[in-house]
Structure 1
Amino acid sequence: MLDLDMSPYGVFVWSSWGISAVALAAISIRALVAARRWKRELTRLEEARK
């Protein structure tokens, strides 16, 4: 069985998991936004070159 009771450490462990998940999601979203911006800039530069 899965035992998720961590007694006195539960608050620390679960809050750490939550903060880590939010940080990873934010980093991933930021990378996707930057990639889209770079792609638009590349397209703009390639069009200006023609």
Structure 2
Amino acid sequence: MTLSRASCRSTVKELIDAGKAKYFGLSETGPQTIRGAQVVRPVSVLQAGTPV
């Protein structure tokens, strides 16, 4: 099963609004995805991987 980013963002927003989640975090993503997420709900945490 594949979810669209928009579907995932709206689901996370519903969970936060219902008090079942506290934060909205993203991992390994680009500026456009972050901007899209910010429209639905403020992003609390970003994770960026760095090659070692």
Instruction: Kindly indicate whether structure 1 or structure 2 has the higher relative contact order, using CA contacts under 8 Å at least 6 residues apart.
Output: 2
Between Structure 1 and Structure 2, the one with more strand by share is 2
- TM-score interval, normalised by the smaller of the two chains: 0.3 to 0.5
TM-score, normalization by structure 2? 0.31
TM-score (normalised: structure 1): 0.32
